[in-house]
Structure 1
């Protein structure tokens, strides 16, 4: 699961990373939602940051755009998805 904004380049980076490892994933685009601020506030309580993207694998927080991209390159992302 990924929380995203269409206009965010880091979100695009994370989506590309997930696709590169063949992950099937859902995306919640939040920028046009009336509860966007509340979602981001809740993400901060879960992950320590309210910025997007916020990528979760099997219900556990994985990272943002840079972490997800790095995980795709070093094999960690595919490994976590397979677990």
Structure 2
């Protein structure tokens, strides 16, 4: 059930964050992505507060206890890993087709 839930939220051209209420790492990850001009439905924030089976599944499969950041269908890690690729982030987001075209 938890695996199906997580996989249903992922898409090749989308960034998906799995977050919990009150988590500063989750809040910071969302703030990091806020300036980007995402195409509609290409940035999704899934609040998994109280969804223990989903939290356990993400912990087992990604090793993340707080925010899990997926770019496309691949988990890059959490907030620290998102920070580590900040200089490449515009290129990566453009490459998967998540950003609006500049005109």
TM-score with structure 2 setting the length: 0.64
**Does the 8 Å contact 1:4/1:52 carry over to 2?**
yes
Structure-2 residue corresponding to 1:61: 75
Structure 1: give runs of 5+ residues left out of the alignment: none
Q: Deviations over 1:37-76 (max 9, x none)?
A: 1101111232123x1210001111112112212322xx22
Gaps of 5+ in 2: 1-15, 96-103
Instruction: Indicate the RMSD between aligned Cα atoms, in angstroms.
Output: 1.7
**TM-score, normalization: structure 1?**
0.77
Question: Structure 2 matches for 1:34-49, cutoff 5 A?
Answer: 36-49=51-64
- Kindly indicate which of the two structures has a greater share of residues assigned to helix: 1
Superposition map of 1:25-40 within 5 A: 25-31=43-49, 33=50, 36-40=51-55
